[in-house]
A and B are shown apart, each in its own frame.
Chain A
Amino acid sequence: MEQQEKILEVKNLRVNFNTYAGKIQAVRGVNFSLYKGETLAIVGESGCGKTVTSKALLRLYQPPLVSVAEGSEILYDGQDVLKMNKKQLQAYRGREVGMIFQDPMTSLNPTMKVGDQIAEALRIHNKISKKEAAVLAVEKLRLVDIPNPEKRAECYPHQLSGGMRQRVVIAIALSCSPKIIIADEPTTALDVTIQAQILDLLMEIREKTHTAIILVTHDLGVVANFASRIQVMYAGQIVERGSTRDLFYQPRHPYTRALLDSVPKLSSKTHGELYSLKGTPPDLILELKGCPFAARCQYCMPVCQERMPEEIDLGEGHSVSCWLQHPMAPDVGPLNDGRKAGA
């Protein structure tokens, strides 16, 4: 890979939910960087902290219910997002980073014409007249391949189909040509054929504008086809990260492996058992002593229950947090066969 420009860096991000039952540590020390023009996928099951992480990047959380712990840093352009004042934050949201949510119905204002909604977003960040904004809004609708954009701009959200609405949401996110787009499950609420259209559109935009995309999803199919790098999250931590090919063909964490195995392949013809993980993820209200996955891991060792594994670099951006990579761990085949070289 050529020299890449780092545009966002997250250091030791910790997010807590303060409920009456106690403190839920939803994100537990996440580190990662985002490079220009890439698609970084954050993959995991519900409750793993992937959505919380993506929202924290925009400081979209409500104190005091949700709080980011001391020592967390989100660096954009050398500046800590968590320490920005109101004005800086407003400029950062929208202008630098756009957000696309899962449900296009609830992320649009039902009582406003879609053209006006885009124009409004434009006018927050640019000093332009209403008329100019309206013309630009139609331009943005054309950019997201909405047929008949002049007519569609006059529609209310409920007059559009789900796929069209999601295109409008994308148009709003793109309104100020941001450098980063955070897409949180952008296609989960859509049908397969529409899903493909939307993802193609996102990739087209990335190619054209060199925008970096953070794709938050649980769908491994989407990830395989659209991400350049992947981070797998489990119980608020990143357990494995690497290029898409590395993660799909050489997964090193038993959880990544299990996720991949529990999806049936279209080619698999047998009616045998689908690989299934036992149990459920740990309750995040608890303090975790060892590896969060230990209780469901078929390779669990005593050390896993006692100590948190450290992240081990396997080269070329592939790294994993698992005790199986330790030189003293037994050989369990593909998951850790190269461990001594890596350690």
Chain B
Amino acid sequence: MEELSQEQFRIIGIEDNGTEHSARKKVGYWQDAWRRLRANKIAMAALVLLILLLLMTIIGPHLTGYSYEEMDKASKNLPPSAAHWFGTDELGRDLFTRVWQGGRVSMIIGLFSAAVSTLIGVLYGSISAFFGGVVDNIMMRIVEILISIPYLIIVILISVITDSKDLGTMILALTLTGWCGTARLIRGQILQLREQEYVLAAEALGVSPFKVILKHLIPNTLGLIIVGVTFDIPGYIFSETFLSYIGLGIQAPATSWGALASAAQANFRFYPYQLFLPSLMIALTMLSFTLLGDGLRDALDPRMRH
């Protein structure tokens, strides 16, 4: 043991500068969530795949030079080849173009319906939860009634009433009751948050109720909302596929993945690729949205922070 000197035994006390300063590096919420998401390999793979799929639905239809409506009687039901990468259908239309054109419709319906129903659901749910009491009671009874109507009935009714089966009608039909689930989810979360002391603090400061919802309650449910959206999108895509498949959805010559699969079904035995390719796209899209949603849920969970 080395010798201790008297010099080392003089009292120096605490360096006191009155205020505390922070030493740790600053990490924001989103940075932290992004770091955790990046560490999740499956979610990242799903994200990359999704971006590729989205990109293809944007540029895909323009890559071959064929139009999705263009019929060529000379080349019906061709298998995949250099001229037609995914082959052609029974009217001689290029399937590669049609698959991505159909994907565009499916994606638009998925994204748009999810966005609309989330927006309505979040506002509805948070207003219901924040005001509570009678307001909450009435608003939630309405949701329960809406949720109990099968959406097929609504879709049929709407297509009868509007006498059209285009994109807008589809989205309207799907979101008309689709927001109810989100509204319930958000209401539950906000009921919990409402009792938090920071919400009370804002009320004590005289912040208006609307601002409390916008600045405290919704931002703090954002993680939940994002996860909800990623799980909603594949749901809507699948609904659209289903409706188109049974003939209630998009009408020819416009198309979607569901419509493509439906059309291919008749000749499935002879031309399986016509069914396989759109189905594969549906499966890949739904899988990657679900996997990404799982990853996001883990990354955004505040309990995962330390």
Count, chain B residues at interface, CB 8 A: 13
> Do B14 and A296 have beta carbons less than 8 Å apart?
yes
Q: Which residues of B contact A (CB under 8 A)?
A: 4, 6-14, 16, 20, 306
- Nearest neighbor of B12 in chain A, beta-carbon distance: A300
Interface stretch among A101-109, A168-176, A327-335?
A327-335
Interface presence of A60 (CB below 8 A) = no
Size bracket of the A interface: 20 to 34
Q: Which of A42-50, A84-92, A187-195, A301-309 contacts B (4 or more CB under 8 A)?
A: A301-309
Contact at A298–B14, with CB atoms within 8 Å?
A: yes
Complex CA distance for A279 and B11, rounded to whole angstroms = 18
15 contacting pairs across A/B (C-beta < 8 A): A278-B14, A279-B14, A279-B20, A296-B14, A298-B13, A299-B11, A300-B13, A300-B14, A302-B9, A302-B12, A303-B8, A328-B4, A328-B8, A328-B9, A330-B9
Q: Which of A283-342 contact B (CB under 8 A)?
A: 295-303, 306, 323, 326, 328-330, 332
Given A297-B14, A302-B10; 18 other pairs, CB 8 A cutoff? A19-B306, A21-B306, A279-B20, A298-B11, A298-B13, A298-B14, A299-B11, A300-B11, A301-B9, A302-B8, A302-B9, A303-B9, A306-B8, A323-B9, A328-B8, A329-B9, A330-B9, A330-B10
Q: What chain A residues lie within 8 Å of B13 (beta carbons)?
A: 297-300
Q: Given the complex, which residues of B lie within 8 Å of A332, measured CB to CB? A: 11
Specify which of A19, A295, A303, A329 is in contact with B14 (CB 8 Å cutoff): A295
Residues of A near any B CB (own CB < 8 A): 19, 21, 278-280, 295-303, 306, 323, 326, 328-330, 332
When C-beta atoms are compared, the residue in chain A nearest to B23 turns out to be A283
Q: Quick check: A326 and B16 within 8 Å, CB to CB?
A: no
A330 to B87, CA, bound (A): 93
Closest 3 A/B residue pairs (Cβ)? A303-B8, A328-B9, A302-B8
Q: Are B20 and A328 in contact (CB under 8 A)?
A: no
In the complex, chain A residues whose CB is within 8 Å of the CB of B14: 278-279, 295-298, 300
CB-nearest residue of chain B to A302: B8
Of B11, B16, B20, B306, the contact of A301 (CB 8 Å cutoff): B11
B residues near A301, Cβ cutoff 8 Å: 8-12
- How far, in whole Å, are A202 and B240 apart by their CA atoms in the complex? 67
Give the chain A neighbours of B10 by CB distance below 8 A.
301-302, 330
Contact between B9 and A326 (Cβ–Cβ < 8 Å)? yes
| B4 adjacent to A326 (CB under 8 Å) | yes
